[in-house]
């Protein structure tokens, strides 16, 4: 069983059910912490719709928060959400993330490697 993420009705990620549910839960928790909408809408049929513009805004806020890096444990907890979110934003054709240095370069490199492992 899987949990499909879609943008404009097109599947962009089809992870195992628990993986999809975990990512969605983490993204929603982070969105609540940042006080912004995630751009993710879970559906009753076991899929999740991603709205690229709203999700792009979420990712921008997430990256700003992550880059502050005031707490090591928090940074580690956020890293997985950041990486998966960068992959999904790219696949959804969302606006490119503003470039702001070495940290983003490293994250984008890691997200590119992760992308190859995330089934569609």
**pLDDT, position 99:** 67
69-87 per-position pLDDT tens digit: 778 999 999 999 999 999 9
25-61 per-position pLDDT tens digit: 999 999 999 999 999 999 999 899 999 999 999 999 9
Residue with tokens 């993986």: 19
Rounded to 5°, the CA angle 39-7-52 comes to 45
Of the pLDDT bands very low, low, confident and very high (cuts 50, 70, 90), residue 65 is very high
What are the extents of the domains in the chain?
A: 4-115
Query: What's the gap between Cα 19 and its chain centre?
Result: 13
Look up the pTM and report it. 0.94
Q: How far apart are CA 52 and CA 9, in angstroms?
A: 12
């Amino acid at each position: 069983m899987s949990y499909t993420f879609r943008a404009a009705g097109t599947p962009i990620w089809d992870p195992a059910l628990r993986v999809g549910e975990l990512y969605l839960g983490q993204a929603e928790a982070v969105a609540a912490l940042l006080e912004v909408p995630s751009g993710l809408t879970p559906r009753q049929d076991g899929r999740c719709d991603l709205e690229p513009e709203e999700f792009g805004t979420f990712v921008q806020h997430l990256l700003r928060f992550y880059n502050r890096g005031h707490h090591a444990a928090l940074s580690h907890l956020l890293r997985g959400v950041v990486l998966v979110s960068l992959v999904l934003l790219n696949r959804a054709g969302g606006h490119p993330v503003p470039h702001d240095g070495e940290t983003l370069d490293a994250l984008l490199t890691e997200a590119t490697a992760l992308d190859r492992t995330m089934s569609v």
